[in-house]
A and B are shown apart, each in its own frame.
Chain A
Amino acid sequence: MQGYVKTATRASRPFVLLLALVVIALALAPLWASRNTLQDLFFILTMLSLAQFWNLLAGYGGLVSIGQQAFVGLGAYAMFGAVILLGIGPIQAILLGGIAALALAIPTAFFAFRLQGAYFAVGTWVVAEVVRLCVSMWQAVGGGSGTSLPRDARDGLIGLDQIMALFSVRGAEARDIILYWLALCVTVATVLGLYAFLRTRSGLALSAVRDNIAAARSVGVRAEGMRWRVFLIAAFGTGIIGALIFLQNGRISPDAAFSVTDWTAFVFFIVIIGGIGTIEGPIIGVLVLFALQSAFAQFGAWYLVMLGLLAIGVTLFAPKGLWGLISARTGLSLFPVRRRLILSDPSEDKP
């Protein structure tokens, strides 16, 4: 008997094709979508990326952070600071946003990893508050009341003229198109990067830590090293997305950039409702969130009450979320990471 390890499932092959078609359709969105739709898609894509990084932390690393707004806000502020003070182009400055978030993540991890479980959660929140209060005192970027991106920086976006000529649109619309494409690139890179990572040995180790930390340690997984790696990756990604979101906004203030509702609560609802600890979950979650938001956003805060109750209900009665329900019924796995040993007879052809 010979065996080989297989991760692909019957559903995953046609799904790859479908996924490729969806990504191509999304890449061509500026041709078929209105400006409003494009902005909605930007929201969906950026929230999906934030959710995937939080999912990586909470769902795989067991690190429930309520302080991700620290990285969103610092990434965004670093981008604004680089544009306003150093005159760097906004798109190049997005990368600096990620680097700034990474730089913050190192001391944060050193501090917060001393705390376990719930205490880690509130500890990260304290760090986010400290960063918010410090940034509020940074007068060069507007202090507590915030600032706008300089006009010439917004108009000097790379490729703006070409897009304006290509689609024959005005500057504001061309800017939306460029930022939308950036968001699409970041999201595709996030989802595929995460999937590729989970299929490596490190990813297997991470999944083992998620399922049972004691058992994972007993077979030689260095759980502490995994936690560091996951925390730093998530911080870098979150910083990039924060910079991108506020480049699209064009305006920043400490309250908006470090909002726990916008950057942690929504992300948390996406992951919980969709299904924590899977790649498919946040994708479903963000679509559900967007549908609910379109339908109920006019009810203001009641909408958030409903989301909160939904998240509590899902945690109590369907802890694996909507995707968990679907995959339990159908056995579907669109981003398969589970390694299955297929035993085959030596007389048969090798795969």
Chain B
Amino acid sequence: MLFIDTLVQGVLLGGLYALFAAGLSLVFGIMRLVNLAHGDLIVLAAYLMLLVVTVLGVSPFVALLICAPAMFALGWVLQRFVLNRVLGEDVLPPLLVTFGLSVVIQNSLLETASADSRRLPAGDLVNASLPLGPVNVGVMPLATFLSAVAVIMALQWIFFRTALGRRFRAVSDDPVTAGLMGIRPKSIFALATGIAMIVVTIAALYLGIRSNFDPAIGPARLIYAFEAVIIGGLGSIWGTLAGGIIIGVAQTFGAAVNPEWQILSGHLVFILVLLLRPRGLFPRAYD
């Protein structure tokens, strides 16, 4: 009974981690770029929504609709004017730039929003739960998980069923040849990062409603997201969901044994998976 409950909570927590990871996975799949500021961008989006909620007095869900385009624009600009300049054979420059960006975002938030913990107000929804078979399931965790599935299905649809997705796949496979066919890889990359930032905003919504956040929590979110991407296999978006669930389940079981082991057991499972399956569970990209 306790076992099933822990398992269900873990799977639902995995939905949140999959949301953290989906944007990272998309960007990696298309341009082999790991954005070390990804976690801090999630936190930035959460603060942006908090600002909209506070100033306009709307619900966080409305704030999402306002903030998503803003974050899209931020992602587009970031890719177009900064990250595109450092893409290339050498892995060092993108790492340096995004690590620098991570420090910039974290400390700017610290100065403007203070180190206090904040939360997005969502009324009674936070504590609501549904009886689902033998276990009680929180409405917010369930909504998070379903959103994660929806986001991944949407990304999958864009990737394999639309003209834009065809361009994504083309520049992912071979940017030079794609360029010969009249695609501008750099514009495509900017769009991809923009879309990833929309996913980041959705992740930030659930992060902000479900738990407290402060400017310093970004790097830990990046690590969970990264673990989910690697466990799932580089470039596989459904694999990312599986990876998120594995981290989530590992954490809830760890916490059930001893609260101090929650985060640690997630990391240990990650290391274990990597030792057994160095390419992750469902690898797609080969490089």
Contacts and interface: CB of A to CB of B under 8 A. Distances in A.
Interface of A: 58, 62, 64, 66, 111, 114-119, 121-123, 125-127, 129-130, 133-134, 136-137, 260-261, 265, 268, 272, 276, 300-302, 304-305, 307-309, 311-312, 315-316, 319
- Interchain residue pairs A-B with the least CB separation, the first 10: A118-B34, A117-B91, A308-B104, A301-B107, A308-B103, A311-B100, A304-B107, A312-B100, A133-B264, A308-B100
Contacts of B107: 301-302, 304-305, 308
A137 B260 contact: yes
B161 interface: no
Contact of A301 (B99, B102, B110, B275): B110
Given A261-B103, A302-B111, A308-B103, A126 B93 contact: no
A66 B230 contact: no
B260 to A, nearest CB: 6
A276 B227 CA distance: 29
A182 to B, nearest CB: 30
B226 to A, nearest CB: 5
Contact of B219 (A116, A260, A304): A260
Given A134-B264, A309-B104, A312-B82, A64 B92 contact: yes
A50 to B, nearest CB: 16
Given A118-B95, A268-B96, A129 B103 contact: no
Contacts of B102: 308
Nearest to B28: A118
27 contacts: A62-B91, A62-B92, A64-B91, A111-B275, A116-B91, A118-B91, A121-B34, A122-B36, A122-B223, A127-B271, A133-B267, A134-B264, A137-B260, A261-B103, A265-B103, A301-B107, A301-B111, A304-B107, A308-B107, A309-B104, A311-B96, A311-B99, A312-B96, A312-B101, A315-B96, A316-B82, A316-B85
B222 interface: yes
Interface of B: 33-34, 36, 82, 85-86, 91-97, 99-104, 106-108, 110-111, 219-220, 222-223, 226-227, 230, 234, 260, 263-264, 267-268, 270-271, 274-275, 278
Contacts of A276: 92
B94 A118 contact: yes
A14 to B, nearest CB: 33
Given A126-B226, A129-B263, 19 more contacts: A58-B92, A111-B274, A114-B274, A117-B95, A118-B36, A119-B34, A119-B234, A122-B223, A122-B226, A125-B219, A126-B223, A126-B270, A133-B263, A260-B219, A265-B99, A301-B108, A301-B111, A304-B107, A311-B100
A242 B118 CA distance: 34
Contacts of B101: 308, 312
A117 B97 CA distance: 14
Contact of A126 (B97, B111, B271): B271
A193 B110 CA distance: 40
B186 to A, nearest CB: 15
Contacts of A127: 271
Given A111-B274, A134-B264, A307-B103, A315 B230 contact: no
Nearest to A107: B271
Nearest to B219: A260
Contacts of B97: 312, 315-316
Nearest to A134: B264
Nearest to B275: A111
A315 B95 CA distance: 10
Contacts of A309: 100, 104
- Looking at chain A's contact residues, is the secondary structure mostly helix, strand, loop, or mixed? helix
Contacts of A272: 96, 100
A64 B92 CA distance: 7
A130 B220 CA distance: 12
B111 to A, nearest CB: 5
A130 B91 contact: no
B69 to A, nearest CB: 25
A162 B159 CA distance: 73
Nearest to A129: B267
Contacts of B268: 130
A305 B104 contact: yes
The residue among A64, A125, A272, A308 with the most chain B CB atoms within 10 A of its own CB is A308
Nearest to B215: A301
Contacts of B86: 315-316
A68 B194 CA distance: 32
Contacts of A116: 91
Nearest to B262: A133
The residue among B91, B92, B94 with the most chain A CB atoms within 10 A of its own CB is B92
The residue among B99, B222, B267, B271 with the most chain A CB atoms within 10 A of its own CB is B99
Contacts of A122: 34, 36, 222-223, 226
B284 to A, nearest CB: 15
B103 A304 contact: yes
A111 B94 contact: no
A263 to B, nearest CB: 13
A125 B104 CA distance: 19
Nearest to A276: B92
A315 B92 CA distance: 9
A121 B104 contact: no
A319 B234 CA distance: 29
Contacts of B93: 315-316, 319
B272 to A, nearest CB: 10
A260 B103 CA distance: 10
B235 to A, nearest CB: 12
A198 to B, nearest CB: 19
Contacts of B85: 316
